[in-house]
Chain A
Amino acid sequence: MMKIFLLILLTAAVYVLHQDFWNWDKAEPLLFGFVPIGLAYHAAYSLVAAALMWILVKFAWPAHLEKVEPYREDNQTEGKQ
């Protein structure tokens, strides 16, 4: 339960970090001398998003879905009901 709570908290924190209001009116410092800080922040944010997804895959992967049995033709639920 604690694990789920921490993962929810982490995901929410990453979502909130997207709103970097502190960089709103700033162009400097320039990363590598030409990338404005607001753009550099969100480039780094993309890496953080990838890291978050890695953490979710590692600790919250829906492993039960790997055991799903394929459907059989006679189990189809199509057609008017």
Chain B
Amino acid sequence: MIPGLVVFAYLAIILYIGIFAFRQGKATGEDYFVASRSLGPYVFLLSLFGTNMTAFAILGSSGLAYQRGIGVYGMMASASGLVIPLCIFFIGTRLWALGKRFGHMTQVQFFRDRWECSFIGTVIFTLTALMLVPYIIIGMMGGGHTLETLTTVKDTAGNPMMVEVMRNGQAILEPKHWISYELGSAIVALVVMSYVFFGGMRGTAWVNAFQTVMFLTFGTVAFVLIAKNLGGFDHIVERLAANPKTEGLLTRARISPQEFFSYTFIPLSAIMFPHIAIMCMTSEKVTAFKKTVIFYPLCIAAIWLPSVFLGLVAADQFPGLKPGESDDVILRLLTANTGIVVAGFLGAAIMACVMATDSQILALGTMFTKDIVSYYSGAKRLSDSTVVWTGRIFVVAITVVAYFIALALEDKAGIFELAIRFAFSGFAAMAPIMLAALFWKRSTKWGALASALWVAATMAGSWYLYEMSAGMAPKPGQPLVQIFPMLGDLFLRSPGNVLVYGYLPVMPMVLGSAIVMVVVSLLTRPPSRATVEKYFPSDSAPVTIIRRGGSRNH
């Protein structure tokens, strides 16, 4: 019960932070959606990093390292530690400047204006929103499950107390919990909704910064305590190396070089996530990006290195867990090796990751308000107060809908998890659209539209191939299977993925998106000279802004 109480104390603190942010804020759309573009360098770094952290960073990475070994760090963390800061350096800084110069708050506002086209914005809005919703639902489900697990009732021997429940007309035994999944999800939804509703971007950024600090602190403490309790890690690694079943975990024997390389494309998704792109517009000064890009790889290392290594330790301590069962090895290690309060604090930290949905909910609210409501009604007709309340109402609506989906489809979580995997590739494959918009004058709306359609089609295609080849998926350790033997190795099936010549679909998706963007842009009419001058002003020329009526401001 103590871990549960720690989590409740944590929820109370972040609720207070959200309310405090509300008191500091102004009643303007810019304040609610982008914190008046006023975040300082440290809050900006911590909140941007916290926004990009998911439950996978600790739970999933340890579970995956348990199954596949140390290569998980290089494949997912060190690649992100290079690519994400590069994206923030080259793209994030430009988005910040465009937001400051033209008042943009979303990517869609920029795309619409840059390519003089309403439709391209609507297509990208739809695609982005569809890819973001599964994250919110999974976050809600994760919150419910985490609270349920942390409040499991135990007997004097420390074993879970079992109770009889009816499932599908059959009586089965399940562990008893103080907080059920349904109530847990509702509590998480209510807390997140409250501080996003009141605090807007300022509240969300402060909560994320707080979560990052807490996570780094207690993650380190937990790692040290586990090491101390186990008497160091040397003998554990020796045992793993001496066992033929586990020696592969100390190398990259369970990861193919093609898969390892493909993963360097995945972090391109980061800058295309609307919550990350919008967060880039919250900084007070562009110089705040300096600390962010330098410290970002170090923050990733601080979170992922212990998580991946503890996955190896768990393989020694709790052998034989199947994929899925190994997702909670961190919690098992904590329960077995640390005091219950420390376990509670880490439980709160895990809850923090699960609750990364806050910035996603706010981003959807921002997009809906700015890209749909304000855009189609004409911004001049909406007062600041109306804009803020539209955003707030949408925050409530999306939270309530996500909560009921999380309840109704609890047993279908796999579908949403799968959707997230494909969405990662989808967001990554949209990066060429952003790069072209920012750096290539000759890029056109038709190129962007073709690229967006390519992303949607390849994402749907790889999902279809994944589903239709499920029956032929090899078991771990078995060779890859050709999905269409007449096409040779073009489409291969591994235990958990569809591969294209051995590479993950994200690689051809990104490269194809870039090629489509270039070819179609070159074949179609470029944007007007005025728009090109607006977004690519010469160094000495004053910035020229075209009004809708056609008059110019200098």
Contact = CB atoms under 8 A, between A and B. Distances in A.
Interface in B217-256: 232-234, 236-237, 241, 247, 250-253
A71 B102 contact: yes
Contact of A24 (B112, B251, B374): B251
A72 B553 CA distance: 10
Interface stretch (B138-146, B156-164, B282-290, B399-407): B282-290
Contact of A52 (B82, B237, B287): B82
A36 B78 contact: no
Interface residues of B, number: 69
A4 interface: no
A77 B297 contact: no
Interface in B283-305: 285-287, 290, 293-298, 300-301, 305
Interface in B72-130: 73-74, 77-79, 81-82, 85-86, 89, 93-94, 96-97, 100-103, 109, 112-113, 116, 118
B375 interface: yes
B366 to A, nearest CB: 13
A58 B236 CA distance: 43
A42 B73 contact: yes
B484 interface: no
Nearest to A34: B233
Chain B contact residues: helix, strand, loop or mixed = helix
A50 B295 contact: yes
Nearest to B546: A77
A71 B103 contact: yes
Given A27-B241, A49-B82, A56-B293, A70 B287 contact: no
Contacts of B109: 77-78
Contacts, number: 166
Given A19-B257, A54-B294, A75-B553, A49 B100 contact: no
Contacts of A23: 251-252
Contacts of A33: 234, 237
B322 interface: no
B251 A27 contact: yes
B60 interface: no
B294 A46 contact: no
Interface string A20-35: 1101111100100111
Contacts of B232: 34
B468 interface: no
A11 B58 CA distance: 29
Given A56-B89, A61-B290, A79-B378, A34 B236 contact: yes
A46 B100 contact: no
Contacts of A53: 85-86, 89, 293-294, 296-297
B475 interface: no
Given A25-B253, A39-B308, A78-B374, A46 B118 contact: no
Contact of B101 (A38, A50, A56, A69): A69
B241 A49 contact: no
Given A61-B290, A81-B116, A75 B102 contact: yes
A50 B300 CA distance: 11
B94 A46 contact: no
Nearest to A55: B294
Contacts of B102: 71, 75-77
A9 interface: no
Contact of B294 (A38, A50, A70): A50
B464 interface: no
B20 to A, nearest CB: 26
Given A25-B251, A33-B234, A50-B295, A79 B74 contact: no
Contacts of B548: 77, 79, 81
B490 interface: no
Contacts of B287: 66
Contacts of A75: 102-103, 545, 547, 553
Interface string B304-324: 010011000000000000000
Contacts of B455: none
Given A24-B251, A26-B251, A71-B100, A46 B298 contact: yes
6 contacts: A18-B82, A50-B295, A70-B100, A78-B109, A78-B375, A79-B548
Interface of B: 70-71, 73-74, 77-79, 81-82, 85-86, 89, 93-94, 96-97, 100-103, 109, 112-113, 116, 118, 232-234, 236-237, 241, 247, 250-253, 257, 260-261, 264, 285-287, 290, 293-298, 300-301, 305, 308-309, 370, 374-376, 378-380, 539, 543, 545-548, 553
3 tightest Cβ-Cβ pairs between the two chains A and B: A27-B250, A78-B379, A46-B301
